[in-house]
Amino acid sequence: MDAGKNSSILVTGARGFIGRAVRKLLQRKDYSVLALDQAAMEPGAGSVGGGREIVLDITDAAQLRRIFESREIAGVIHLAAILPTVAQREPLRATQVNVIASANLLEMAREFGVRRFVFASSLSAYGTCPADQMVSEESGAAPVDVYGASKLYIEQLGTAYRERFGLEFVSSRIGRVVGPGARSTTSAWRSQIFELLCTKESIEISIPYVDSERLLLVHVEDVARALVTLLRADRVRHSVYNAPCESVAVADLKREVERLNSRVNVRVGDACATCNPRLVDWSRFREEFGIEVMPIFERLARAAD
């Protein structure tokens, strides 16, 4: 999908971990970006991709409408969401953002003639699965938490808009995103395994899961590439795609990080990875769009170098 000369790509949650990577990639591809986030731009950050950075809470429907009225928007990449830990603690807020605001955004996309709407969903839509179950887009979705349920509902609503109104809605079910710069307070290890590999001091990284657990990991740059691929494709055959990811055993992750830097000690916990599958088939995405991703351990080795 090509955006017209006078049109923009609207990115919600644009100051988040994935949002920053998406904006950089869109900028490299010469898109004009409307970057929306409730957090203010950091001093000196400048404009993004020839577009604008706007401080906006997407639950404010009137303010959101003014954005659509003031600019021609060719496509939307919708990333803004209340994440799982906070969603369980504040279910009403999660419903307001993840469901109601997302539904308003879909309706405005329809009303203002947006061509494509790319939704950042989650593998949480599958719920907790047996350790040996390989899930595909044809597997039944059975979310077990507020976050996963909200993602599944917007997928179903978006599919209805696709079928009823012709809005090119497409959803990407994303695993645990890793890489430098996550700024997470609840799962800091996702960035620390990259950021601390060059340390010259003895440090400890805590991963809360048992060493026998498997996690579906994807580097933030690969998530951005997948989302922008869905935006740019001439045609998308399906409304839901499992995003590229890799199933990694916690014990292997610990061993590799410690091998790359002997000063790093990875301490594992006793938690199980609930609310998610452990194995995923993303061949639908690979075969349709011809994408491969760099293995996580190779990413780590490059970070150590």
Q: What is the CATH number of the domain that holds 138?
A: 3.40.50.720
Alpha helical stretches, state H, 112-249: 146-165, 189-195, 220-232
Residues 203 and 224 in one domain: no
Could you give the CA distance from residue 186 to residue 302 in angstroms, rounded to a whole number? 25
Residues 297 and 235 in one domain: no
Residues 52 and 72 in one domain: yes
In this structure, is residue 115 part of a structural domain? yes
| 126-184 pLDDT per residue, tens | 999 999 999 999 999 999 999 999 999 999 999 999 999 999 999 999 999 999 998 87
In this structure, is residue 22 part of a structural domain? yes
Please state the domain count of the chain: 2
Residues 74 and 119 in one domain: yes
Residues 133 and 185 in one domain: no
In this structure, is residue 75 part of a structural domain? yes
Q: CB–CB of 304/194 below 8 Å?
A: no
Could you give the CA distance from residue 266 to residue 241 in angstroms, rounded to a whole number? 33
One-letter amino acid for residue 158 of the chain: G
Q: What is the pTM of this model?
A: 0.94
State residue 132's pLDDT score.
94
In this structure, is residue 61 part of a structural domain? yes
Q: Is the pLDDT of residue 51 over 50?
A: yes
User: Can you give the residue range of the structural domain that contains 208?
Assistant: 177-216+245-275+289-304
In this structure, is residue 283 part of a structural domain? no
The structure tokens 């061509």 sit at: 115
Query: pLDDT category, 5, cuts 50, 70, 90?
Result: low
Residues 78 and 111 in one domain: yes
Residues 184 and 229 in one domain: no
In this structure, is residue 57 part of a structural domain? yes
| 104-121 pLDDT per residue, tens | 999 999 999 999 999 999
Q: CB–CB of 272/207 below 8 Å?
A: no
Give the Cα-Cα-Cα angle 224, 165, 52 (nearest 5 degrees). 40
Q: Is the pLDDT of residue 4 over 80?
A: no
